[in-house]
Chain A
Amino acid sequence: MSGRVTPELRAWIGRTVTYEAPEELGRSALRYFALALGDDNPMYHDDAIAGQSVHGGVIAPPTFVCETNQIFQRPADENGYIGHHWDLPLPSTRFIRGGNAYEFHQPVRADDRVAVTWTLVDIYERDTRSCGQLVFVVSEARYRNQRGELLATNRETNIYSP
């Protein structure tokens, strides 16, 4: 294994951080998310219809809980970003998303107050013909509500190109 995955970088594996939302998600946030996806599913806004479902009421769109920028309570950086990131010692690289593996344990409700725990699971390198040497960073997020119930897990792979 060469160059970019240094011992200093590998030492980040296993790091963990938890962020707790200062307030409940709120119903309008669910409707805003659905609207942004062109999604008029009544489960996300219509009490009368959602009340007839096994869920008993309005729920959040499944992946909504995995978007947690609003939790962090940080000012925007110079590019406008306010969310979680690992401050990895990987200079002059470009970051792209490689994919997500979600597991949803129970529907998320508007009155859930979410806490997310991120763990850096793995860092490895791959040589590719088209993009050169890529560094893959795998993180796992676990989302819980105010009662400590596990709502979802999200295993996310991000790719750092040279």
Chain B
Amino acid sequence: MTKTTARRKYFEDVTVGEDLPPIDVDVSLTALVMYAGATWDFHRYHYDTAFVTKLDMPAPFMDGQMLGALMARQLMTWGGIDCFVRRLDYRQRAMVYAGDTIAIRGKVIGTAIENGRPLALCTVSVTGPEDRVISRDATAAVELTRKSA
């Protein structure tokens, strides 16, 4: 594991309009197998090329919840060690296949206080090869801490 230092993002330092750190993911067959293993998802969808070809799919494909997991990775990376994702809501509009590279891009679109919790409100989009829209305008709320806390 990389040596990392504690990094915080304070609510007061959030700028509406700021970008979340962009993440590009090479969705190799190996990556699909790693996620399948980590989630005990042994369905042939995610690794068996001959099986999915019979279903008229070009290649094994990503589990839909891996998309949410990657969005959460981006949000948690941005928010530093004190943050906590409170909500994440996305629709999957297209499949992600082994061999695709996907681009995860997010932005802060507002802030809010809910039940005393300081939140950064974000949107996240995921795009595949040839501008394939995998998910557009997913919404997320990330709880942050205040400097005074």
Residues of A within 8 A of B (CB): 29, 32-33, 35-43, 45-46, 49-50, 52-55, 61-64, 66-67, 69-70, 76, 79-83, 94, 96-104, 107, 157
Contacts and interface: CB of A to CB of B under 8 A. Distances in A.
Interface stretch (B11-19, B78-86, B105-113): B78-86
B58 to A, nearest CB: 15
B42 A41 contact: no
Chain B binding surface SS class: mixed
A77 to B, nearest CB: 9
A55 B86 CA distance: 14
B116 interface: no
A46 B104 CA distance: 25
Contact of B77 (A41, A66, A103): A41
25 contacts: A36-B39, A39-B76, A40-B2, A43-B76, A43-B81, A46-B4, A52-B6, A61-B69, A61-B73, A62-B72, A67-B39, A69-B39, A76-B42, A79-B43, A79-B51, A81-B43, A82-B40, A83-B41, A94-B55, A98-B64, A100-B90, A101-B87, A101-B90, A102-B85, A102-B87
